[in-house]
Structure 1
C-alpha cells in the first residue's frame, strides 16, 4: 500500500473530528450572539417596566388626592378638562398592566437562558457525549433560543405600539401569543434536556458508572 494512502487513512478520522469540533465552535459562537441579543432586549424591556412602575406610583398618588364625586359639581369646562386628564390616566394604567404581563414573559425568557446554560455546563462534563453530539445539542439550543429572540422582538413591537397607533385588542393578541410561544420554547428546552439525560443514563448503565452520572445531574 503506498505510504501516501496510509497517511490519508490514518489522518482521515482526525480530520473528521477536527471538522466536527470546528462546526460546533461556529454554532456555539452563534448561540452566544443570540444570548447577547436576548440580554439587550430583555434589559430594554425591564427598563421600560421600571419606568412604568414609577409612573404607576405617581398615578396612584394623584388619584388618591382627587375625589371623583366632586366632578359632579364642576362646570362643563372643568369636566371636559379633567375628563381628558382622567382618560389619559386610564390609558397609562392600561399600559402599566401590559408591562406587568410583559415582565412575566421576560422572566420566562431568562429562565430559558438559565436552563440552557445549566444543561450546557452539565453535558460538557459528561463523558458519555462526543464532541459531535455536543455540537448537535448546540444546534438544537440555537434553534430554541432564536425562536425566543423572535418572541422578544414581538414584545418590543408592543412597547413601540404606545408611540404609534395600535388597538388594545391587538396588543393583547400579541402579548398572549408571545406568552404561549415563550412557554412552549421553555417546555421544549426542558424536554430536550431530559431526553439527553436519559441517553446518558442509558450509556452509563452499560458502562457501569451509573452512580457517577446520577450525581452529575443531581438525580437521587
Structure 2
C-alpha cells in the first residue's frame, strides 16, 4: 500500500507540477483553437443551409413524381416533354448542392484533425516540461519543434478559412478542390510528424528510467504499454 501511495504521489506530481515559465505552453494554441472553432461553426452553418435546400429540392422532386403517378401512360411522355426544362434545374441544383455538402464535410474533418493536433501538442508538451528525464536544452529543442508545428498548423487553418470564404466568391470548383487537397495533405503530414515526435520523446524518457519503479511511473504518465 505504501509503495502504491508513493507511486500515486509521484505520478500526480509529474502531471500537475508547476510549468517552468521558460517553457510555457505556446500561446498560439488558444488562438489556433479559436480559429478552428470559427471554421467549424461556419461550416456547420453552411451544411445546415445546404441540407435545408436539399430537402426543398427533394420535396419538389417528390411532387413531380406524384404528379406523374396520377397521369395516364399516354399523357406521361407529352407532359414530361413540356415540363423537362422546368424541372431540369431542380435536378441539376440538387446534384450541385450535394457536391458542395461533401466539400463542407471534408473541410470539417480537416479542421477537426487540426484541433486534435493542438490538443495532442498541449498534452504532450505539458508532460514533457515536468519530466525530470529531459535536460533544459532538450526541452528548448522540443519547444522549437512544437513552435514549427504550430506555425504549420496556423497556415493550414488559414487555408481552411480561405476555402470557407471561397464559397461566397467566384473561385472555381477546381481551385477550391486544389486548396482542400493541399490542406488535407499538410494536416496529415503535420499530424504524423507530431505523433512520431511525441512517441520518440516518450520512449526516450522511458529509456532513462533509473529503476523499475521509475519506469512504471513513466509508463503510467505517458500511457505506454
TM-score interval (norm. to shorter): 0.7 to 0.9
State the match for 1:64 in structure 2: 58
Higher mean Cα deviation, 80-89 or 190-199?
80-89
The reply on whether 1:189 has 2:194 as its aligned counterpart is: yes
Q: How far, CA to CA, are the matches of 2:137 and 2:166 in structure 1? A: 44
**1:56 CA drift (Å):** 3.3
| Equivalent in the alignment of 2:4 | none
Of residues 197-206 and 92-101 in structure 1, the stretch that sits farther from structure 2 once superposed is: 197-206
Query: What are the Cα deviations for residues 59-109 of structure 1, in whole angstroms up to 9, with x where unaligned?
Result: 232123223566983797x76665556555544333221110001101111
Matches within 5 A, 1:170-185: 170-185=175-190
Give the CA deviation at 1:117: 1.5
**Does structure 1 conserve the Cα–Cα contact (< 8 Å) formed by 2:163 and 2:179?**
yes
- Contact 1:24–1:132, Cα closer than 8 Å, also in 2: no
Q: After the TM superposition, which residues 98-177 of structure 1 pair with which residues of structure 2 at under 5 Å, given as runs?
A: 98-177=103-182
CA-to-partner distance for each residue in 1:133-160, whole Å, 9 max, x for gaps? 2232122111111101101111111111
Residue of 54, 61, 64 corresponding to 2:48: 54
Distance 2:151 2:174 in 1: 27
The runs of 5 or more residues in structure 1 that have no matched partner are 1-20
SS at match of 1:204: coil
SS class of match (1:66): helix
Q: C-alpha deviations, 1:120-177, integer Å up to 9, x for none? A: 2221231111333223212211111110110111111111111222221111111112
RMSD: 2.8
CA–CA distance in 2 between the matches of 1:210 and 1:179? 37
How many residues align? The count is: 194
SS in 1 for 2:209: helix
Query: Is contact 1:37-1:149 (8 Å) kept?
Result: no
Contact kept, 8 Å, 1:123 with 1:129, in 2: the verdict is yes
Q: Give the Cα–Cα distance (whole angstroms) in 1 for the partners of residues 169 and 95 of structure 2.
A: 17
1:10 alignment partner in structure 2 = none
Instruction: Between 91-100 and 205-214, report the one with greater CA deviation.
Output: 205-214
Change (3 A) 1:40 1:89: farther
CA contact (8 A) 1:116 1:141 kept: yes
Normalised TM-score (structure 1): 0.75
Q: Report if the CA contact (8 A) 2:206-2:218 is conserved.
A: yes
Deviation per CA, 1:180-220, whole angstroms, max 9, x where unpaired? 11011011001101111122112114797322222222223
